[in-house]
Amino acid sequence: MLLKKQGFPQDEELVLCTVTNIQYHSVFVQLDEYGRTGLIHISEISPGRIRNIRDYVTEGKKVVCKVLQVNQEKGHIDLSLRRVNEAQKREKLNDVKKEQLAEKIIEQVAKARGDSVPGLYQKISEKILQKFPTVFDAFERAATANLDLSEFVDKKIAKDITDLIKARIKPPEVKIAGDIFLTSYADDGVLLIKEALTKAEEHGMAIRYKGAGCYRWEITAKDYKIAEKILKKTTDLITTFSEKNEVSANIVRQEA
């Protein structure tokens, strides 16, 4: 990774590490993002009794660890492998993968221009990281035209990077969901329910049948503000239509 964070990690922070040395009661690792050495005691490798550490880690293996304690004076960083659950591991690895994509984009632009890859990365990341947690966060904003990268680098380089971003980074989306309960005792009740659902689908609500008068709805949009507008519009359409016809409607929002 080109990203090198300054200073020390925070307690409880998740860090990507490379195993460098395995001892009988401990494992030494390199914190990829900080360029520092950390230690995992055998008790923090895995729950239960461990007979052989090498059954769990090998030299060169990438592992996601949680920072337990940092002693800046001595330069010691105590880590845990067993306290990282699968969801946390996936999230951290996904974040790393995103940042590597951002680095790859900068690398591609640098090589096309004949520039130094580390030099261009340093030039653009130094300013971006003052406003965003990661370079990818800024690039993701640029993918939706909500950020002009010329704020951080000259216009020509900004254009080259933005063109690659739009080709390689999908704009972020948000999703809200819930259930719709529709019933009708009218002679043409089935058709009325279908018409109510069709009106909602025409305005951006995706709907599928779950059973027993229950339908699953989902709205996907660029941001929550747009998603909420679509929800209000479709909810009003279904409610108004149901009140004018012999349909009972109950729309439930799934809590995040």
Please say if the pLDDT value at position 79 is more than 70. Answer: yes
Task: Please tell me the distance from the alpha carbon of residue 33 to that of residue 38, in angstroms, as a whole number.
Answer: 12
87-120 pLDDT, tens digit per residue, is: 999 999 999 999 999 999 999 999 999 999 999 9
In a domain, 5, yes or no: no
In a domain, 2, yes or no: no
Cα distances from 153 to residues 149, 164, 211, in angstroms, run 6, 15, 55
Residue 61 contacts residue 17 (beta carbons within 8 Å)? no
User: Domain containing 59: what range?
Assistant: 14-84
Determine how many CB atoms are found less than 10 A away from the CB of residue 15: 23
Residue 242 contacts residue 236 (beta carbons within 8 Å)? no
205-222 pLDDT, tens digit per residue, is: 999 998 888 999 999 987
The chain-wide mean pLDDT, for the chain, equals 92
Number of domains in the chain: 3
Residue among 180, 175, 179, 171 nearest 228 (CA): 175
Q: Are residues 107 and 67 in the same domain?
A: no
What the block records as the tokens of 93 is 């690895």
Task: Please tell me the distance from the alpha carbon of residue 162 to that of residue 160, in angstroms, as a whole number.
Answer: 6
Please say if the pLDDT value at position 256 is more than 60. Answer: no
Please say if the pLDDT value at position 231 is more than 60. Answer: yes
**155: β partners:** none
Task: Please tell me the distance from the alpha carbon of residue 84 to that of residue 14, in angstroms, as a whole number.
Answer: 8
In a domain, 8, yes or no: no
Question: Last residue of some domain: 168, 190, 216?
Answer: 168
Q: Are residues 109 and 96 in the same domain?
A: yes
The answer, as to whether pTM is greater than 0.75, is no
Residue among 103, 109, 100 nearest 163 (CA): 109
Question: Last residue of some domain: 141, 168, 195?
Answer: 168
**pLDDT computed for residue 146 by the predictor:** 75
139-169 pLDDT, tens digit per residue, is: 988 987 778 999 999 999 999 999 999 999 8
* Strand pairing category for 76-80 and 62-71: antiparallel
Residue among 167, 172, 35, 165 nearest 106 (CA): 165
Please say if the pLDDT value at position 223 is more than 90. Answer: no
- Strand, coil or helix: 254: coil
170-186 pLDDT, tens digit per residue, is: 877 788 999 999 999 99
Q: Are residues 79 and 94 in the same domain?
A: no
For 143, the enclosing helix (H) or strand (E) is helix 135-143
Question: Last residue of some domain: 140, 168, 196?
Answer: 168
